[in-house]
Amino acid sequence: MGLELYLDLLSQPCRAIYIFAKKNGIPFELRIVDLIKGQHLSDAFAQVNPLKKVPALKDGDFTLSESVAILLYLTHKYKAPDHWYPQDLQARARVDEYLAWQHTTLRRSCLRALWHKMMFPVFLGEPMSPQTLAATLAELDVNLQLLEDKFLQNKAFLAGPHISLADLVAITELMHPVGAGCQVFEGRPKLAAWRNRVEAAVGEDLFREAHEIILKAKDFPPADPTTKQKLMPWILAMIQ
């Protein structure tokens, strides 16, 4: 059995891995793990990833979890072009710096924006207080400003003149609040221009394909009571 990627494109790190693999012509078998149906919580999936999270990778007898680890594994195994994860020490350090920062900052605020603004009221039927939503969107705004001022600055891409893993991870995060109806790029021309460059670098068709599910998330049917009960502990832990 060749390379298998266990993904749900509702998930932002899954989208990053999907785009990277497709863009670099990496052959893989796509194994869909439907988060909304709770398939990641099943005993069957736990055999692949005991953490019960996507993404996950299986390469023969070797399994791997955690999106950054998977991206780096694919980069090294398939000898991806240097710009994704540069050999130059300082350029690579810039990619590493962003990947280390984003886990508890931009990822958290983008995830919370999606769930607080749309998924709780629409999918779960749980109203969100205006105060909670306002605080979530304010936190998102702070992290967007940090992304722009600290990481993007006046460069074409986050780590320099060429697209890298940092840009791919960042853009897939930002499409979460976009899917919830947040005007992430409005009033931020520098960030909007960067988004256009990233989309052009990966290809508009691939970018659109990877984000089709998140951009249609508002049309998800409401969760039935059994699914809601099954997912709620996972959701609450995820967005803390």
Supply the CATH number for residue 22's domain.
3.40.30.10
Same domain, yes or no: 137 and 41:
no
User: Which H/E stretch holds residue 57?
Assistant: strand 56-59
Contact 43, 4 (CB under 8 A): no
| Mean pLDDT across 4-21 | 98
**Confidence band, pLDDT 50/70/90 cuts, at residue 239:** confident
Same domain, yes or no: 160 and 198:
yes
Same domain, yes or no: 107 and 53:
no
Answer whether residue 1 shows pLDDT above 90: no
Same domain, yes or no: 231 and 144:
yes
Hey, how many other C-beta atoms are within 10 angstroms of the C-beta on 138?
10
> For residue 92, how far is the Cα from the chain centroid?
20
pTM of the predicted model as reported, rounded to 2 decimal places: 0.96
Q: Which long-range contacts (CB under 8 A, 24 or more apart) does 124-131 make?
A: 124/222, 124/223, 124/228, 124/232, 124/235, 125/222, 125/223, 125/228
| Domain count of the fold of the chain | 2
Same domain, yes or no: 175 and 225:
yes
The per-residue pLDDT for range 32-91, each reduced to its tens digit, is 999 999 999 999 999 999 999 999 999 999 999 999 999 999 999 999 999 999 999 999
Same domain, yes or no: 61 and 140:
no
Q: Among 81, 102, 122, give the residue marking a domain's end.
A: 81
| Mean pLDDT across 199-207 | 98
Same domain, yes or no: 187 and 232:
yes
| Mean pLDDT across 9-19 | 98
Residue 98's pLDDT is 98
To the nearest whole percent, how much of the chain has pLDDT over 90?
Answer: 96
Answer whether residue 15 shows pLDDT above 80: yes
Same domain, yes or no: 189 and 113:
yes
Same domain, yes or no: 118 and 55:
no
The per-residue pLDDT of the chain, averaged, comes to 96
Q: Which of 43-57, 179-193, 224-238 has the lowest mean pLDDT?
A: 224-238
Answer whether residue 204 shows pLDDT above 80: yes
Same domain, yes or no: 157 and 221:
yes
Range of the domain at 70: 3-81
The per-residue pLDDT for range 129-147, each reduced to its tens digit, is 999 999 999 999 999 999 9
Alpha carbon distance, N-terminus to C-terminus of the chain:
37
